[in-house]
Structure 1
Amino acid sequence: MYERKDLKKPRIGIYSMGLKTYWAQFPGLKERLIEYGEFIAGRVEAFGAEVYYYGLVDCEQEGKKAGEYFNEIHADLILAHSATYVTSASILPIHQICSAPSVVLNLQPTARINYQKTTTGEWLAHCGACPVPELSNAFNRAGIKFRVVNGLLGLNHTPEISMTDEITAERPEARRAWKKIEEWILAAKVKCNLQGARFGFLGNTYSGMLDMYSDFTMFQAQTGAHLQILEMCDLDRHLQSVTGQEITEKRKEIKEFFIISEDAAADPLAQKPADAQLEWSAKVAVAQEKLVKEFDLDALTYYYHGAPGNYYEDIQGGFIVGHSLLTAKGIPCAGEGDLKTCLAMKICDILGLGGSFCEIVTVDYDDNTILLGHDGPFHLEIAKGKPILRGMGLYHGKQGTGVSVEAKVRTGAITNLGCTQTIDGRLKFIISEAESTDGEIMTIGNTQTPVRFKKDPDFYMDEWFAESPTHHFAMSIGHQGSLYEKVADLLEVQSVTLG
């Protein structure tokens, strides 16, 4: 019924810099530097970006034209290739005219010049670092943020004009530089996909969770995303239109995605789901997808505390299965009305890294791990095996009963991305790299993942609590600390990475 939305590709503007005077003095240099620039453009395109290579900027007039060009293509990020020396007066106009964030690429074509044979023209093809301090000074005095990637260009061939070996693709300095460049591209992908993204807010925030409360205007101002306030009657309207055939198809999908618990769990509240519970969860899941489609949502946060025996209480009792399915399809769903963690989940999902809704469950001091998870939606794409569905006799701390998901994130490197709010109303990211283990979890119908941090649990929690976090966060796969730092940079959000 609902296909995963296509993500927008970031628009990356690229230019190479040089000094116009050189071209007549050193034949072949201009063409050589353009070839380097085209190589960079090809590598960046392979990262899934729309690439717009302007060519050489070698004088003030070209700088003005390039700035206007990058505005015309609505660049999300500009990569400024420091190909050889250039005057800062040629470059500054680009970034004064186009306000897109930019990264200077100081990528030297060779690891070592041929000292015995090198001519001035040859040296100029390798002196990209020379203008970077001048550019840094000019940018700083103009109030323009300055970023740089240093390293090797990473060619897999040597140009005929060259007097040295330029095959550096396997050098660590090239690999490191291109990893950073890829991260900047991915960070731009996050920013451009958040711009105009539609976050649904269904119901309200869990009463008394002060860390959950967010200023909706603040959220849009800092992310560029739209917030669509939804009512339970919006969902109920779709629920009334669900057909028997749609329920049958949804139950097939549920059977594909999940293991239906047959065993008797340790907790008498978490047992085999009744057929009526599965039927209701499937019906609600169909309505949830219709709601997402009607409002063109990219993410959803929700909570509804219905009065005992109220019809809307019954509806929210069927939320978890459908919201887990939506999360797997690129519509992250965060419970308890946690908009900030929904943002963190969406960032993880845009990057293809999951983003499962978590909080502290308990500490295992014998295993030196912290169990992290929640009673709610789970990102199925990063699960270790198939998640289990259990019928819940009650939702602890909440109203109603229904079907819940029991699962863990697959074993290996993970990164938690927390999103909190500071005293001045600004968003703040808290980033933690760690390792998920295949340790034991409880059979209580909740998502749980044992996680071993770089420090023992008490020292880690000392650091984490000191950052005034929201008590929820998103768990993603891989060690992604440097990537999330770049996302924070482009979003102009404060971030801290815990050791």
Structure 2
Amino acid sequence: MNKLLPLKDTVKPRIGLYSIGLQAYWNQFPGLRERLIEYGEFIEKKMSTWGEIYNYGLVDTEGEGRNVGEWLNSKNVDLVFCHAATYSTSSTVLPIHQICRAPVIFLNLQPSARINYDQTTTGEWLAQCGACPIPEFSNAFNRAEIPFHVVNGLLGLNYTPAISLTNEITHERKEAIRAWKEISEWIRAAAVSRTLQSSRFGFLGNTYSGMLDMYSDFTMLQAQTGIHIEVLEMCELNQLVSEVTESEISKKMNEVYEMFEISGDSPSDPIAKKPSHDQMEWSYKVAAAQEKLVRECNLDALSYYYHGSPGGEYEKLQSGFIVGHSLLTARGIPCAGEGDLKTALAMKICDILGVGGSFSEIVVVDYEDETILLGHDGPFHIAISEGKPILRGMGLYHGKQGTGVSVEAKVKTGPLTTLNVTQTGNGKLKLIISEAESTNGPTMKIGNTQTPVKFKKHPDEYMTRWFAEAPTHHCAISIGHNASLFEKVGKLLNIPTVTL
């Protein structure tokens, strides 16, 4: 659906990798060392799909382990994978992570699904015994108070090495598929922490007055995620609007006609009509200025809201926001309304992971279908739309000043996951995750985004659980079932996470 190019290149995470062994084995079992190195190179190549991989190679002594820690620090890695290729002492591994404090994942990836019991030698067994040292590592890391995670499963080769005495073609087995899904999620999650550390979030205008769940401390957000918040003024955008050329307006018009369907009058709501020529022209002009603002301020996301006085210059300006902010969201610059920085963060996490992230809140419950409609009177993530989003002219924005053009759209039918970023009483961020299904149920024709969502529990039971977690009243909708992916993001960001 999304044919617009991202305004910024995707940031790949920097991933450290090393394999472990015991130096005493190499003279005893010729070929074992080279075999384990080959496994490590296979892992490196497969991981490179998702990140920049820095593979140290095989580590087999405590002294070498200290060198690895310094080497990984020099590469500024976001995450380190320790491939337990065979047995190794914990004294080899622990110093690496006492020096390099990036999060660590142990890989227990057995090459074969079953050893050849009748023909296996000691050397052959040692190439298959990666699980053996993991308990030792777990104990040492626990006592050193270093967090760790373990991925268990099969290596997933699509060939059998010449030295092997058994079948090592396991890439189609569920244990390999599951393990590599988990590995890919860890690497993709690391991209979130890497990207946020260099992200600039714009804060334009102010937060909707009285929405107490929206208010957050800018320093707190930077301290816990690394994002910089750039405070922007409406006059900055207003100046850019005054400088927009006719060719820039024409370019935005073409983008809009490619990405949206222009509606007629709503059959039900008298304030939702076919957009007027003037409303559309103003939206094109404001959209061009919005893109200029993002480029000039080097923004990665934007949270905005401005109430304005009736008939004021800025009331007119904000009335043209929604179309341009939808276009920006489709190009990797998530835009969250009502000054909601925390939901802009949720949307950015979804966008980094390539799963969308559309601004939403509870609209209404359908007890007949047992769905909850989620949506908002604001920007929409065009890339996850079910068909072309519709633009409607609004006689008024409910609860806000002004009139303008709004988006009526629905998220694709199928699996989805909501991500809510909230703030607890002690000032800590928290992620709330819910997997569900987008249905093809009915929606209103009132110029708002709306998606009928069927959660795993009855709407009343789900809402009881959700509200008990004290969420922000907005959330980001992503496509696909992404709970395990979002949970890994929470772990790498050290943000408490709840999955409902």
- 1:261 to 2:259 alignment: no
Counterparts of 1:55-454 in structure 2, within 5 Å, are 55-454=57-456
Q: Which amino acid aligns with 1:366?
A: E
CA distance in 1, matches of 2:127, 2:428: 44
CA distance in 1, matches of 2:476, 2:13: 23
Structure 1 partner of 2:475:
473
Alignment check: 8 A CA contact 2:375 2:450 kept: yes
Aligned residue for 1:208, secondary structure, equals: coil
CA distance in 1, matches of 2:471, 2:379: 21
Aligned residue for 2:9, secondary structure, equals: coil
Aligned residue for 2:65, secondary structure, equals: helix
Aligned residues: 497
Structure 1 partner of 2:10:
7
Alignment check: 8 A CA contact 2:266 2:445 kept: no
Q: Which amino acid aligns with 2:462?
A: Y
Structure 2 partner of 1:17:
20
Measured after TM superposition, the shift of residue 264 of structure 1 is 3.6
Measured after TM superposition, the shift of residue 265 of structure 1 is 3.1
Q: Which amino acid aligns with 2:12?
A: K
CA distance in 1, matches of 2:351, 2:223: 21
CA RMSD of aligned residues (A): 1.0
- 1:33 to 2:36 alignment: yes
Q: Which amino acid aligns with 2:416?
A: I
Aligned residue for 1:330, secondary structure, equals: coil
Alignment check: 8 A CA contact 1:15 1:81 kept: yes
Measured after TM superposition, the shift of residue 2 of structure 1 is 8.4
Alignment check: 8 A CA contact 1:110 1:164 kept: yes
Q: Name the TM-score, length of structure 1 as normaliser.
A: 0.98
Aligned residue for 1:61, secondary structure, equals: helix
Q: Which amino acid aligns with 1:34?
A: I
Q: Which amino acid aligns with 1:173?
A: E
CA distance in 1, matches of 2:254, 2:174: 48
Alignment check: 8 A CA contact 2:120 2:165 kept: yes
Q: Deviations over 1:1-54 (max 9, x none)?
A: 9852101111111100011111111111100100110010011012x3111110
CA distance in 2, matches of 1:240, 1:359: 34
Alignment check: 8 A CA contact 1:2 1:289 kept: no
Measured after TM superposition, the shift of residue 205 of structure 1 is 0.4
CA distance in 2, matches of 1:401, 1:475: 26
Q: Deviations over 1:450-497 (max 9, x none)?
A: 011111101111110110000000000000000000010001000000
Alignment check: 8 A CA contact 1:265 1:444 kept: no
**Could you say if the C-alpha distance between residues 353 and 277 of structure 1 is closer, same or farther in structure 2, counting changes exceeding 3 Å?**
same
CA distance in 1, matches of 2:309, 2:301: 26
Measured after TM superposition, the shift of residue 332 of structure 1 is 0.1
Q: Which amino acid aligns with 1:175?
A: I
- 1:486 to 2:495 alignment: no
Q: Deviations over 1:181-239 (max 9, x none)?
A: 00001001111111110000001100110100001000000111111000101111111
Q: Deviations over 1:343-365 (max 9, x none)?
A: 00001011111100000000000
Alignment check: 8 A CA contact 2:6 2:332 kept: no
CA distance in 1, matches of 2:164, 2:225: 46
CA distance in 1, matches of 2:28, 2:138: 27
Structure 2 partner of 1:458:
460
Q: Which amino acid aligns with 2:424?
A: T
Aligned residue for 1:395, secondary structure, equals: coil
Alignment check: 8 A CA contact 2:431 2:495 kept: yes
Q: Name the TM-score, length of structure 2 as normaliser.
A: 0.98
CA distance in 2, matches of 1:345, 1:467: 19
**Could you say if the C-alpha distance between residues 160 and 2 of structure 1 is closer, same or farther in structure 2, counting changes exceeding 3 Å?**
closer
Q: Deviations over 1:87-122 (max 9, x none)?
A: 111111111111111100000111111112111111
Identity of aligned residues (%): 69
CA distance in 1, matches of 2:138, 2:150: 9
Q: Deviations over 1:278-333 (max 9, x none)?
A: 01111111110010011000000000010111100100010000000000000000
CA distance in 2, matches of 1:169, 1:322: 45
Alignment check: 8 A CA contact 2:265 2:272 kept: no
Aligned residue for 1:118, secondary structure, equals: coil
Measured after TM superposition, the shift of residue 148 of structure 1 is 0.5
Aligned residue for 2:311, secondary structure, equals: coil
CA distance in 2, matches of 1:299, 1:416: 19
Name which of structure 1's ranges 199-208 and 162-171 shifts more when overlaid on structure 2. Answer: 162-171
Measured after TM superposition, the shift of residue 246 of structure 1 is 1.1
Q: Which amino acid aligns with 1:191?
A: S
Measured after TM superposition, the shift of residue 247 of structure 1 is 1.1
Structure 1 gap ranges (5+): none
